[in-house]
Structures are given as structure tokens and as C-alpha cells.
Structure 1
Amino acid sequence: MTGLPANDDRPSGPVSLPRAPALAPGLRQAAWMDGEGEIALLDHATAAERLREQPPIVCHARSIARRLGQDAIPAYDVLELFAFVRPARVVTPTPRGLAAALGLPRPDDLEAAAVTVQRAAAALLQELAARNDRDAAPIAWRMARGGWRWGPHVLAALGVDNDGDGPPRQGVGMKAWDRLGEWSEHAPEPPPGNQPVEPDEARTRLAELLGPNAEARPQQADYASAVTQAFQPRDTPDAPNLVLAEAGTGVGKTLGYIAPASVWSDKNAGPVWMATYTRNLQTQLDGELDRLYPEPREKRRKVVVRKGRENYLCLLNLEEAVNTLNVSSRDAVAVGLMARWTAATRDGDLVGGDFPGWLPDLVGRARTLGLADRRGECIFSACPHYKKCFIEGAVRRARRADLVVANHALVMIQAAMGQGDDGRLPQRYVFDEGHHVFDAADSAFSAHLSGREARELRRWLLGAERGGGRSGGRVRGLERRLDGLMGEDEATANALQDTLKAAALLPAEGWHQRIQRSAGEGACERFLQAVREQVYARVNRPNDPYSLEAELRPPTDALVHAAGELDGKLENLLTPMQRLLKALRQRLDDESDQLDSDTRRRIEATCRSLDQRGVTQVQAWRQMLSAIREGETPEAFVDWLMVERTGGQDIDVGFHRHWVDPTIPFAENVARPAQGMVVTSATLRDGSADPEANWRAAEMRTGADHLIGDAYRVEVPSPFDYAANTRVYVVRDVRKDDMDQVAAAYRELFLAAHGGALGLFTAITRLRAVHQRIGGPLEDAGLPLFAQHVDGLNVATLVDIFRAEEDACLLGTDAVRDGVDVPGRSLRCIVFDRVPWPRPDIRHKARREHFGGRKYDDMITRLRLKQAYGRLVRRADDHGVFVLLDPMFPSRLEGAFPEGVEVTRCGLADAVAGVRGFLGGPTGR
């Protein structure tokens, strides 16, 4: 096949497009367009052979390498060029995504995709040539010296001599922090008032948000009115006004709770914290607030998106990465792209927002996500970038904001520490995706004495050590963070040195290899070695590729002995840490009239970190170790031992402790101190036949059981006609253990729906087996197939691709089930491989006994099915089919589906015919 003539694809003027072929692979074939514009379809082996001879222009080189069965391929990746030319701009990382972003024709086959990647490169270089971007040239020069293939062509577009002796001296170049403004301090905010929000006020505000031309949605107004109960002053100490609000899909609950929350903030001059579980909803919620504050400057002042520190770029880490670059360093490509993004980003958020989630796949995690403060090593006001710090700026803006968009984890961790952004905990909360409160609390209030956790504490205390790995040089230890804070007190200095000396008990580099050889060094490694030995001795299938776990009781003699030894060593670490913490706090008191504000803030921040990362963690570990020595776990907890594995390889070893009911600490630390709280979701109740049991499930999973007084229950049904717009099939004649049969079922159902299909799996091995069998036939039918754990892309990127490509198919596990929000035809069929029963691990066993046996299993499973089914219909005109490939699906779980939706039990042939008939074949409805 002949594509457009090569000369037609090459821009005129200063832009120099590489004379390289273009490559676009599918699952079976690849389109190769040579330098003269001739296009051929090749098998993967031939394409791999050709690209060794000449690097092609591609879109997402790493995923292409996987498709071609290569570890890596030499290529001009147009996504790298996009990240350079349009930093902090989002694009779906496919040829179709590039075409949509750049205004190019949409490619509908592999040949057109190959043309598109070349045209996209030309368009980006032309765009760069047309702009006066003073910072681009010095960055591109450094990247070119580091081996960036696009470097000479970018420099040509910028009018810079690539053969010059040194970098162009213009702009700030790599020093992107010089472009950033500083945040400012303000006087502390007074406590918020307690004026109530009346139902009519919420309805009025909602009408303002919707505008005069909005269609009438009485359910949404009823919802907004009902949740005002959480915005009344409470009458009894420790008894918040708790609203449990289940609002079906289509009600519009987001604007429904924004309305009363914004009214309360206006009336009381205080913030309402609105928390979500997924990053996707956090981004959506931020977007919805454009209705409330359409003017960007006002919105920036009134609304703040808050995440944990580990989600944001650390400017000091970026500066150190820039300063340690050699002229020819290969890291220059990653650091250069990060510098471009830093100068353009809205808020420095590396996990969502305007950061391209596919960039770490292309240039590596170490110089992208690894530039975040992931180890709590911040030196606060001692940092030269403190006044420009993204995190500190967000914290200060949140103190004065009306609405804070946070996530469950941050809210719970701050509450557990008893420390909000301004030293006070929020008084009003909204927890959206409230069905995940239980899981979020389970994570936030657990403790793990593992090799990974202990190694991180060592790094936090000691900083970079010789032989500490490639990224070790950037790690700042406790001594550096305390520089200039200890004054002249010798006792403080001694406490620091004693702490650092005692920290040597924690695992050092190479700990994992040593314990596998039974050669652990020091008390902590010997304990981990004993844990690993007990797990391998007790499990039934030690060669299982998945993580292994064993009950703690009865512990082996070796484990009891190692626990006692480690407890004594941890006491030697805890004592000087407590002395150091006391000394620092004493300095705050003794020199309160002499310390400047920055020093005081540094000491306070260091005390918080030392208390939380050091003292509290070691105390928790010692409590856990005492359970081994004394032979008794506290009744509220469940303990177990685990060897964490990936791909059949051990990656961590540890002793785990979780609350049997994690809503107990959630109620104690988050809900009880608050004045009011809304917990809302489309799936708060589990769908059991008994209405009261339905609400009891919601109260059990949200902590309402542990609060004074009754929760205010709100139920607002969906306006959608699920019975007319969806079909549910349970396939009875596909054997779950025969992967050929399972794969054939997926293939035929996906073909019947003509794409727009989501395949959900209860195990990664089953997902991979199906992907291997159905990818080729779907591609032959023109249906792209993407898969979690196969394509190597993060879930958010996979969902973005799936959303953008109407006839694509996506395979995933529970992370995809919970993270998908795809309205329209892009999602019209869901196929679940089997009933998603809870995994029967030790933690679940304890909870099953505590919460009611089989009824607990049924509740969890109905909730999972409700969540999966709920992905189908996101708008009134959506239609979809839900298929479960499990003949053992019990009728008592049918309550997971809305009332009126008929569950049809049939053979695969009838289900395929039903899907094809209901969705109307390839053209759809």
C-alpha cells in the first residue's frame, strides 16, 4: 500500500523531520511506512528485524516493544516530543489520541496510524517553530547531548545550531523553579461558625449551579435538601450529624452535595473537605467546581486539591537531578521533560492532574515519579525552594479555602495523627465513593513490620549510604534535616547520634538476598528470616507464584527468639528518638521568644515527622512483637505473616496487623471529632432482600455503628430505566476452569457487542490467558484490545484509551472495575469471568467470623457486582449488557442488580445472540 508521499508529510521552513520510517503495530501485524511513504503490513518478527536497522517514528515505544516481543526498541517516540512541545497538556497515548489533540484525521486502521504518527511529529515541530519559547532551546540542547533522538530536530525548529560549543544562554532552561511564584503567609484563620444550612438554601444554590436552562431533576434537588442534615450544628459532644446517602447513578450527587457544602462555607467562613477514593473522581470533582467558580483566579483561591506529600514533585529533588547530570547523561531526556512540565504545571501533582501518566513508562520512574518526596525526607524551610514548594503552597491555600478536594487516605492519616493542615481537624466532611470507606480505613489504620517498611525507616534516619542504590545520593537523612535546629545543646546532639547508631539494626541494602540464604545480619533481618521460614514451612503450596501467608499461631521457636531479640534492639532505638523529640520540643518552649518563624516551623515539622515516622511506628512494632512473645493478639486485631511475591519472586517479607473492624478507628479519629459528615455513594447498601439489613450493611461499612445516635438515612433512586436499558445474562455452559472455553466466550461476546467491552477477572493469570487467545481475532475484526498487567500502562491511562476509542476492548481486574467512568458507547458490554467472591485469606477469615459468616461473604460479593454493573449506564441514553460466565451464581446475589432488571440464565449461544440483538450489531443503537 502507498501512503501519502513523504515530501507531503514534511513541513517546509526551519522544521527538520527525521528521514525515518513510521511504525504502528497491532496484536498480529504492524504497519511500516518507509521514508518514501510506501506502507507495508508486516508480521511482528519482520517488523522487529527492520527496526534494528533504522529507528522508526512511533507512539509509545515501550508498549510497542512489548507487542513485538522486545525488551526495548530504538525509536523516535512522538509522545516524548508531545511532552516537550506541550508540557502539562493531556493526550491519550495512541495514534488516535494524538490525532484528536492535534486536529489530524482520525486513523481507522494500522496503515493510517503509521501516517498519523509521522504527521503528528511534523505538526509538533511546526508548532514549536512558531512559538517564542525562551526556555526550550537550552533544555533541548542538554537532552540532545544526552542522546535524545528528537534533539537535533527540535533544535533546528528553534533555530539553534546543534553543533555549537555550549548550550544557548536564554531563559531559565532546566532551572524551571525560577519561573515559579512564591506562596505567601497569612494570619491564622478564626474557627468556623455553626450557622445551619436550610434545605431551601441548598436547593437555591443547586439551581444557580445548574443554570436557568437546565432540565428539571427533582431527585437531585431532593438529595441536596436531604444532605443538609450534615450541615447543622451538633447538639451532643462526640456525636456528629452523620448522613448516609445512597444516590443512584444519574441523580447528580456531586453537585447535590457541592450545593449545601458551599452554602455552609459561605455562611461560616470555614472549609468543607470533600474526599474521594479514586484519583479519577477527585479530578471530576475539581472539574465540577468550575460551575461554582467559573473565574480561574477565584477558583484557585476558593478551591484546593489536596493529596499526600508523596504525590507532588519535590523541587529540591528536581534541582539535585539537574545538578548531577553529566553533559552526555541519558537521564537528561527524563529530567528535561520534567523541567518542561514543572514550568507549566498547575500544581505539581504527579499522580493525576496535568501530569501525563504515560511519561514514566517512556523515560523511567526514577527521574519522574521518583522526584516526589516519597520517603518523608523534606527539610522544610531549610530548602532553598521552600517558598515555591507545591506542597507547602497547597497546604497554605487549603487553610483559607472554602472547599478542599482531598482523598480518603489523606483525610484518615491526618486525623489519625490528630493534625490538620492548620493544626485543626476539619469540622465538615463529605466522603464520596463512601462504599470504599471501609477499605481506606483498613489501609490507613494498619501496621506492617516488613522488610520494606523497616528499610524505609533506615533510609529516613540515615539517609544515603554507600552502596545504597542508584537513587541513594538524593536521600536526605535525619542529621541533614536537623541541621541548624539543635542549637548548642549537647544532650540533643548526643540523642541524635545515639539514634543514628541504633538505626543500624534496621535492614541494609541487600537484606532480601541475605535472608533468602539464611544469612540475615542484625536483629531485624534475623526476625524477617524467621518470618519467611515459618511462612514457607506452613503454606500448602510454597511454589505458588502469588503471595504466601501463614497464621502467626503457633509461632516457631526461632520466631519467638527473633522477636525477643528485635524488641530489645527496637527499645534501644526508641529511647534516643524519644529523648531527641523531647529536646526539640523543649527548645520550642525555652526559646519561644527568640526563634524566627522559619526555624520554629522547621522544628515543629521535624517533631511531627520524628513522632509519626519514628516513635509511633517503632512503638507499634514493639506492641506487635509482644504478641508473639506473649502468645496473644488483642481481640480487635488480626495478625498474620506474609511473603509478598510478584511473578513467582519474593519482593517483601513481613508481619501484618489490621483491625478486624477498621471503622472503629475511623469513627474515633475522623467522625467523632467532626460536627457533620456525609458518606455517599451509588452503592452504599449491598442489595440484600431485607431493607433494614440493607441499611445495616451500610452502617457497618461506614462506622455509623460506633457513633452516638442514629445516622440520617437518605435514599434517592436513579432516574434511569435500567430494566429497559440493560440486560443481564448468567452463562451456564462455560466451564470456569477451561480457559479455552472462557476465552472463546469473551471473544464471541466482544465480537457480538462490536467492541466497547470491558472484561473483568478475579485473577491476573486468567486475564493473561484470555488476552493471549483473543487478541488476534479481535484485531482482525477491527477491535483494539488493551489489558491491565499486559500492556504495561497504568490503569488511568488504559481507561483514558478505552474511553477515547469507542470500539476498543479492555481487560482488567478489580482496580479497573472501581476506576472506570466511561459514559456513552465506549462501554456497552461487561463480561465477568466468575462470581467475585472475597479471597479467603487470613484477614477475611477473621472478618467473616466477626461480621456474620456467609452473610458477610454475600454482602461483599453483592457490593462488587453492584459496582461492576454500575459502570454500564452513566447517562440516560446509555445501553449495556452485563454477562457473568459462572453457572454457580446463586439467586440470593441477584439483589446486586436494580429492581426490575431480569437475570437471564442461558447458554453462551443465547447470550451472544442476546448481546448482538440488544446492542443492535456493529452500528449500535
Structure 2
Amino acid sequence: MTHRFVVVDIETTGNAPDKGDRIIQISAVLIENQTIVDQFTSFVNPEIPIPIFIEELTGIHSGMVKDAPLFAEIAPHLFKMLENAIFVAHNVKFDYYFLQKELKNAGFDHFQPAKMDTVELAWFVLPTAESYKLVDLTEAFQFTHERPHQADSDALATAQLFLMFWRQLEELPSVTLEKLLKLSHHLQSDLYLLLHHILQEKKTKVEQISADLEIYRGIALKRKGMTRKTAAVIETSEYPNTNEAKEQLFKEKLPQFELREGQFEMMDAVFSSFEDKKHALIEAGTGIGKSLGYLLPSIFYAMKQKTPVIVSTHTILLQDQLLQKEIQTLHALVPFSFRTVLLKGRSHYLHLFKFEQTLYEADEQYDHVVAKMKILVWLTQTTTGDIDELHLSSGGKLFWERIKHEGWHVSKQKDPWLAYDFYMHARQEAQAADLVITNHAMLLQDLVEKNTFFPNYDYAIIDEAHHLEQAARTHFASKIAYSNSKYLLSQIGIMEKQQLFGKLQYLLDKKGISTTTEARTIDEAITALELEMDDLFMIMAQIMMRHSKQKHHKCQFRVDSLFRKSKEWQPLVDCAERNIAFLKRVYTGIAERLKVVKVKELKDHEKALIAECFSFLDRIEQLSEQIYSLIISPQLTDVVWVEGDARALPNSMVIQALPVTVKEKLEKSFFAKKKSIVMTSSTLTVQHSFRYMREAIGLQSFSILTKRIASPFEYDKMVKLLIPSEVPEIRDASQDAYVESLANHLIGIAQATKGRMLVLFTSHEMLRKTYYLIKESELLHDFMLIAQGISNGSRARLTKNFQLFEKAILFGTNSFWEGIDIPGDDLSCLVMVRLPFTPPDEPMTEAKHDYLRKQGENPFTANALPEAIIRFKQGFGRLIRSSKDRGIVIVFDRRIETTSYGKAFLYSLPKLTIERGSLEEMVDSIEKWLSLSRD
């Protein structure tokens, strides 16, 4: 391999050179012998205008390239620099294709060097990275990157990353590198050259494996420490009961820590709940520091009583925050050592035996190859084997389905990896833990399955407790999606496809084992099953399209007990019965073959195949049961509905069932069996009352502790709430008229706030219409408009992009009403377009309201209104995240002041200034209010 590499970055007028886009800046960094030796940079005159968006993104405007050389003028120097070198870039296809096109136009039409992609390299060198964008990687590793999206800065940053990745690969054991090299031949860039070179270099030296690694069966793994349950040596486990004692503890251990009276109040409430064996609901306002507010009393109680305390959260984000920040603070604070473990469901963990066997398969599928390479590197880093540490593509996640832990279908004792098993390790760690951090779904699963995954416990903290009802409903749900069902069936395959059944039959034929059912019969059943599954979802889609009330692409139809008795439903029942019959035939055929296989006589890769077949049978059985319970005989207490996207039928079709209420299940299975469950959130009350939450989660029959702890923030000095007077009433205007008025107001407000605005919608359709109306007006042409469902990326990615730009507006729906954190000047204006009522014809809401009517209650006051208020409070909480924040909240929905129930929304907020006025008056008020914060 040559020792010359040229790292290239270009800025262009767009991404389509075939349609006339041109280079406006290029930079090339020369690397020789792992050292940066030269860099060439030049602006390029594209001879066409630079679009506004590119100017905003790169900071390069037409004046900067006006007198720059044409590409043809610098082409000879570039070609000479690139000659006999390996071409390296971040997302190499883009830079390579663009440069190849420009060089060809300049007369250099033989540019075809080997190329390496630092994005592809980062995918497996950094298997746990949250993002592989250049700006995020350089920020993570604190590389100098002063001008992101300018070629000189990007090229130098890419070169530094490339050298760092090279050094990290050199640190990997040879056994890992050998497997990476074998897989790398299926990558899209020529990274096998680099891996081959590193391996050859390693062979010239005596290899020394890092002390924290061990090699087993040709795979390198990070050593796991094992916690043993021992008697704790504690200097003092007495909880600091008084504020003075707490203050002294904090000042001694964490002198810089900000003391908060509300936090101390919460600590006492949690500790007294545990001591008094009472359940509790504690609403802790933003800024209280509720995580430490419940962790400190929990660990004191756990150590004093020698009993574990479970801490359950709804989001992975909060779990990570607890482990990486709050638990570390707790260790520094308390005068004793304690053990914490993060616990998740079995399928979160890697099954090492299954994974090992996939390495011997001739699998050239790109996503699978990248996933295998990621996992090989990750195994040298992880002690948990938890998928949530990994950053997998959608195709990589499908591969994970094959290698995730599902127990031992063959024999635990015969698994050669048992001593290294991540799932077993997690269980053993949990049994020795004082604090166990988990999620709501896992906690609920433990109640139902009665497994021994958790240590025996009687005390728990439920954080983000406003999600407990929905988490319980989801846990008891049943669901079949067309895409998942078809993927499951595609795994069986037929003999010609050499899929799962083909491999199993081949194994039997090789060993001379015969079975009663012929292979051809199973093939025919598999083929028929695939056709019947298509019919099942197509009939479902036809029913949905005939009855859906939705006017946009997403369609839903609730299947009530009356409709299930109709002639229209019967063809679906008939088709479901045929599917179940074919599933049973396939199940029986495979099960019959598994029975006659003598596992003791099998090789390891054959055992892995048998384990995979048993896992598959479990899924087949589950699918059959779900088809029966959803279509043929659903629970009377469940709401059943079908939904899909009208543009992609039947691929998008889903049928699901959820319990209308979960309060009885939670009351009997959870609260009645535990001594003290403390539930906390910043949004548990409606008009300062816990009644709605108590009723929803089944606490109405218990004597519980309730406490509201107000936020320490002075909202009246930090927030102003504005209600526009010129926006039409939602009930009196068409959606188009409302959107037009909304767009006009948002344009004026954005100019006053200079962006930094989050706009929350309750409808994707209204979001899209508003976004495009503003964009097409070009009145905010110098603003970055970022919209959920339109702009590419996850919620986290869209939020991060919003924070990158000086003048930006972020449009979001459902998931943006909570869980995002944009502190400081990055967010100065929060807009709520409508009060967040769930549509009354949404199947779950419709069923809940029917249930409440039968109970003699008013569905609006008992459910719709309190549910919307809690969501409204969550949305409001996006603006003020710290004591230094300041901003504007605008509520466009005039029902907040024109209806009797509107006052309930305002009453649920902290005291703050409320103004009403025209757009002109609002703009003036915004400018004055924000100018005070800037001063």
C-alpha cells in the first residue's frame, strides 16, 4: 500500500454535478508516513450564482469567489498532488464523483485512484458514536475545526480524524483485525488496503494484548468485573433529616454544588414515603434537581435497610444521564460505597454464540457486514453487550434480530460462551445491586413474567411518571405489522433460497435423517403462507380505506364489537384462519425436524442454526396467537384498530389492540404488592390536583403521600405569555385560512426574535402546510427552517441542527412537546399552535371516552381536558431549562381565553405575565422583552 494519502473536501453550489452544480472551494491535505505534510486550498469561481442556502451553510458568498481561479486553472496542480495517492474524504462518493467530473472537464479523464471513506471507517472504529457527521466527530474529539462547511477546515479535520482512526485500528488485537479485513472486502470503499497494511505491520512485532482484553475462540473481548454481594462497610447510613444536615453534607463533599430548598423538600418526601411504607406522587417543578432529589434518600434507605431500590425512567436519555452524571455525583456525596446497575430486557443483550457463528457465513449484505464489523470492535470496549450502546443502521437492526439474546433453546450448558454471557452477567450484577436503574417497560414485564431478573424489591422510584399509564397500556398491547410479518416469513425461505428452512433441511440430508413430512410440503406451505399474509393485510387495507375518517395520508379505523359481527369483517376472519393453519403447518414441519436432530452430535455452527430455528418457532407461535387475538377473538376490554399510510398499502398496514384502561392491572399487580412506590415528574397535576393521575394509574384506593414542589425559577421575570388577538378562532375558520394567518404571524414573530423559535403543532398536516407557506413566501429566506417529517434526521438530530444556526426555526409535532432540552440563547421563543387535545376520533381516545360514558363520567372533563393540560405543561417546559433562561411563549389557540376550560390551562402554569394584542403590538412587546435579556 502506498504511504501517500490525500484528504479532500469540497464546497459546491449543490449536490448534482450532472445538473450543472460546480465547486466553489477545494482543499487537499497530503499525508505521508502518518504525518500531515502539506495542504492546498483555493476558492474556485463556479461561473454561476451561489444559492442563498449554500451561502448560509458555508459562509461563502459570490464576492469571495468572483476573482478566484477557474477549476481548470488549478486542475494540473491538484492532479499532480493526487497522483499515486489514495483518495480520502468524509462521505467519499460525493467528493470523488464531483472532483472526477471537474477533472474530466479540465482534460484529466484518467482519475481513478483507490478511495477511502472516513464515514465508513468511523462506522466500525467508533461503533457507539451517536453521529458520524464531521462537525459532531470533531466536537467529540475536540479537534480544531474553526469553520465547519468550509473546505480548508473540513479537510484538515478529516485528515486528523483519519489519522486518529488509523492509530485506533493499530491498537486492536490481530484476531479482531483479521476478521475486520475479511469483512472489509464487501465495503464500498477500499478500506481493506488500510487494514491489510496494519496487519502486515503487526506481524513484524511481538504482539502484546492490552491487560483489559482477553481472547476467546478467536474473538477479543473486554474483561468484565464481577460484583459480589458482600456486607457493606458503612461509616454512617443515617439519612440527614434536617436541612442543616443536608447542607453540611453538600458543603463538605460538593462545595460548588448549588443548594436548592425544593430539592431538600423532595428528599424528605421520598425518604418518609419509604419509611412510612406509603406510595407517593411528587410533582417537582423544573429546576428542582429531582434526580438527586430521589437518588440521595433512595441510597440512604437502601443501605440502611439492606434492600435494593429500583429507579425506573421512560427514556434512555434519562437513564444515561442518571448513570453518567447523577450517580457519579451521588458517589461523591455519600460517605459509603454502593452498587448501581442498569437493567434491560433480555433482547437488549448480544448472544455471543449466535454472533460467533454468523462470522463464518458468506454474507455479503452491506448492512450486515458493517454491523458485524461494528460489533467486533465494540466487543473490545463493552462490558454490557447492550444494543443501546451501538449505533446501528435499520439494516443492522434487522441483523441484530438474529443475534440478540432469547434465552437458550438448545442447552445453556452446551453454550461455549456461557461464562462470557452478557445477559447472565447483567442478572448477576442486578442481584448484587443497591440501586437498579431500568425503564417502565422492563419494570412492567417483570411484574407479568415473574422472572428473577430483578432482585426482590419493595421500593421503587418511577421518574417521568406521567408516562406510566401509556407504558402499561403499550406493555399489554398486541400488534401485527405487515413489514415485520413479511420479514419474519422471508427468513424461513424455501429450499432454493437457502434460507432458514433450506439450511435446516440441508443439515438433515447431510446427516441422513428422514422425517415424516416431506420438504416439498413445507415449501408449499411457506409459499402459500406468504400469499395468504399478503391477502390478510390487503383485505385489512380495503376495510380501512372504506371506513377511515382521516383526510390525509395516515388512515385509521377502529374495529368495534359491532363491526366484528358484520359481513364485511368475515372475509378477514376467514383469511386469518387460513394464515393460522399454514403457520401451524410450517411450525409442525420445522418442529418435527428439530425433534429428530441430536444436538450432542452437532458442530457449533450447526447448534447455532438449531438455536435460531427454535427462536423462529417462538416468533411463529407468537404471530399465530396475535392473529387469533386481534382478528378472530379479541379481548372485550381492548380497543382494536387498523392503520396505515394510504400511499404505501399494504406495506404500511398495522393492526393492534390496547387495553382501554390499565388502572386495575396496575393496582393489583403492582401497587398492592409493593410497600412504597414513589412517582415523580414535573407534570403530574391538573389545576394543582393529583386526582386525574391517581385515577389513571390505579391509586385511588390507597392512602398516599402527595406533594407539589414549585420550581425555584421566577417565571414572572423570565417568561411572558402572548395570545394573538387577530388569529381566527379555530372553530370559525377553515384549516387553510387558519394556516395562512398563522404563517403571517410566524413570519413577523421570527423577524422580531431573529429565529431561535420552536413551533409546536398537534397535526403533521398543519405543520407541513405552514412550513411550505412560509418557505414559498421567501420572506424568511435567510432563516434555516427545520421541520419534523420534512427535514431529514431524528428528533435529536433536528434539535442539534437547530442549535447550529444563528437564525433558525424548528417545527415539531408530538414528540417535540417533551423530552428535548434547548437551554440558553439557543431558544428564546416557544409557539404552541393549538391546545394539545388528542383528536376525539383517534381510536384509543374514542374507546376511552366510550368507556367513561358507560361509567357515568364526562369524557371531556375526566380525560380529554386533563390529558391536554399535562401535555400543555410539558410543552411549556421546553422554554425555561435553567435559571438564566428568558423568553416568550405564544399560544395561538384563542380557546385558552374564549372558553371556560381555557382558564384551566393558564391556572396550571406558574404565575407569569400574560398579554393579548395584535401582531404589531406583539412584535413590539417581543422586541422589548428580549432586548432586556440581551442587555
1:464 Cα deviation (Å)? 3.0
Other structure's SS at 1:638 match = strand
1:29 Cα deviation (Å)? 11
CA RMSD of aligned residues (A): 5.4
Q: Which amino acid aligns with 2:683?
A: T
- CA distance in 2 between counterparts of 1:668 and 1:187 reads 34
1:557 corresponds in structure 2 to 567
Change (3 A) 1:456 1:153: closer
- CA distance in 1 between counterparts of 2:95 and 2:434 reads 42
Q: Report if the CA contact (8 A) 2:8-2:88 is conserved.
A: no
Change (3 A) 1:37 1:185: closer
- CA distance in 1 between counterparts of 2:301 and 2:675 reads 12
Deviations along 1:21-78, whole A, 9 cap, x unmatched? Answer: 356979999964255522357449999xx9xx9999447989999xxxxxxxx99754
Q: Which amino acid aligns with 1:846?
A: A
Change (3 A) 1:335 1:220: same
1:291 aligns with 2:295: no
Other structure's SS at 1:343 match = coil
2:241 corresponds in structure 1 to 200
Other structure's SS at 2:563 match = coil
Counting only pairs closer than 5 Å after superposition, residues 350-389 of structure 1 correspond to structure 2 as: 350-351=387-388, 353=389, 355-356=390-391, 360=392, 364-367=393-396, 370-372=399-401, 377-379=406-408, 381=412, 383-389=415-421
2:724 corresponds in structure 1 to 731
Change (3 A) 1:750 1:327: same
2:764 corresponds in structure 1 to 764
2:870 corresponds in structure 1 to 863
1:619 Cα deviation (Å)? 5.9
1:219 Cα deviation (Å)? 1.1
Q: Which amino acid aligns with 1:221?
A: F
Larger mean Cα displacement after TM superposition, 282-291 or 883-892: 883-892
Change (3 A) 1:155 1:753: farther
Larger mean Cα displacement after TM superposition, 695-704 or 244-253: 695-704
Other structure's SS at 1:672 match = helix
1:262 Cα deviation (Å)? 0.8
Q: Which amino acid aligns with 1:120?
A: A
1:843 Cα deviation (Å)? 1.8
1:101 aligns with 2:138: no
Q: Report if the CA contact (8 A) 2:10-2:95 is conserved.
A: no
Q: Report if the CA contact (8 A) 1:201-1:263 is conserved.
A: no
- Indicate which of 39, 46, 52 corresponds to 2:43: 39
1:242 corresponds in structure 2 to 279
Q: Report if the CA contact (8 A) 1:275-1:407 is conserved.
A: yes
1:701 aligns with 2:696: yes
1:426 corresponds in structure 2 to 457
1:854 aligns with 2:860: yes
Ranges in structure 2 where 5+ consecutive residues have no aligned partner: 29-39, 56-70, 72-78, 98-113, 508-513, 595-607, 729-734, 853-857
1:827 corresponds in structure 2 to 827
- CA distance in 2 between counterparts of 1:510 and 1:832 reads 47
2:6 corresponds in structure 1 to 17
Larger mean Cα displacement after TM superposition, 260-269 or 749-758: 749-758
Q: Which amino acid aligns with 1:218?
A: E
- CA distance in 1 between counterparts of 2:245 and 2:429 reads 28
Q: Report if the CA contact (8 A) 2:664-2:698 is conserved.
A: yes
- CA distance in 2 between counterparts of 1:197 and 1:503 reads 70
1:244 Cα deviation (Å)? 0.5
1:421 Cα deviation (Å)? 0.2
Q: Report if the CA contact (8 A) 2:274-2:676 is conserved.
A: yes
1:231 Cα deviation (Å)? 1.6
- Indicate which of 135, 138, 152 corresponds to 1:115: 152
Larger mean Cα displacement after TM superposition, 560-569 or 396-405: 560-569
Count the aligned residue pairs. Answer: 813
- CA distance in 1 between counterparts of 2:238 and 2:769 reads 55
- Indicate which of 450, 464, 470 corresponds to 2:492: 464
Q: Report if the CA contact (8 A) 2:262-2:288 is conserved.
A: yes
1:119 Cα deviation (Å)? 1.6
- CA distance in 2 between counterparts of 1:318 and 1:208 reads 48
Change (3 A) 1:918 1:547: same
1:900 Cα deviation (Å)? 1.7
Counting only pairs closer than 5 Å after superposition, residues 120-139 of structure 1 correspond to structure 2 as: 120-129=157-166, 132-135=170-173, 138=178
1:879 Cα deviation (Å)? 1.1
1:271 corresponds in structure 2 to 308
Other structure's SS at 1:95 match = helix
- CA distance in 1 between counterparts of 2:801 and 2:502 reads 38
Other structure's SS at 2:651 match = strand
1:305 Cα deviation (Å)? 1.6
1:440 aligns with 2:471: yes
1:901 aligns with 2:912: yes
Change (3 A) 1:322 1:260: same
1:225 aligns with 2:263: no
Q: Report if the CA contact (8 A) 1:778-1:785 is conserved.
A: no
Counting only pairs closer than 5 Å after superposition, residues 647-666 of structure 1 correspond to structure 2 as: 647-653=647-653, 655-666=655-666
Counting only pairs closer than 5 Å after superposition, residues 23-62 of structure 1 correspond to structure 2 as: 32-33=25-26, 35=28, 36-39=40-43, 42-43=50-51, 57-58=89-90
1:538 aligns with 2:547: yes
1:717 aligns with 2:710: yes
- CA distance in 2 between counterparts of 1:606 and 1:207 reads 58
Change (3 A) 1:217 1:562: closer
- CA distance in 2 between counterparts of 1:619 and 1:328 reads 32
Q: Which amino acid aligns with 1:559?
A: W
Q: Which amino acid aligns with 2:425?
A: G
Deviations along 1:129-177, whole A, 9 cap, x unmatched? Answer: 5564244854664465334436278559959699x9x9x9998999998
Change (3 A) 1:308 1:502: farther
Q: Report if the CA contact (8 A) 1:821-1:871 is conserved.
A: yes
Deviations along 1:382-414, whole A, 9 cap, x unmatched? Answer: 554443333332232122211111111111122
TM-score between the two structures when normalised by the length of structure 1: 0.73
Deviations along 1:745-765, whole A, 9 cap, x unmatched? Answer: 434433433343222222223
Deviations along 1:172-213, whole A, 9 cap, x unmatched? Answer: 9999982225669999999xxxx9986729996786467342
1:589 corresponds in structure 2 to none
Change (3 A) 1:329 1:277: closer
- Indicate which of 252, 258, 278 corresponds to 1:215: 258
1:417 Cα deviation (Å)? 1.9
1:714 Cα deviation (Å)? 1.3
Q: Report if the CA contact (8 A) 1:350-1:369 is conserved.
A: no
Percent identical: 19
- CA distance in 2 between counterparts of 1:252 and 1:153 reads 52
- CA distance in 1 between counterparts of 2:614 and 2:461 reads 27
1:180 aligns with 2:221: yes
2:31 corresponds in structure 1 to none
Q: Which amino acid aligns with 2:705?
A: Y
Deviations along 1:613-649, whole A, 9 cap, x unmatched? Answer: 6778866764555657xxxx63x43333x13227554
Deviations along 1:559-614, whole A, 9 cap, x unmatched? Answer: 33653785698599899999x99xx9xxxxxxxxxxxxxxxxx9xx9999999967
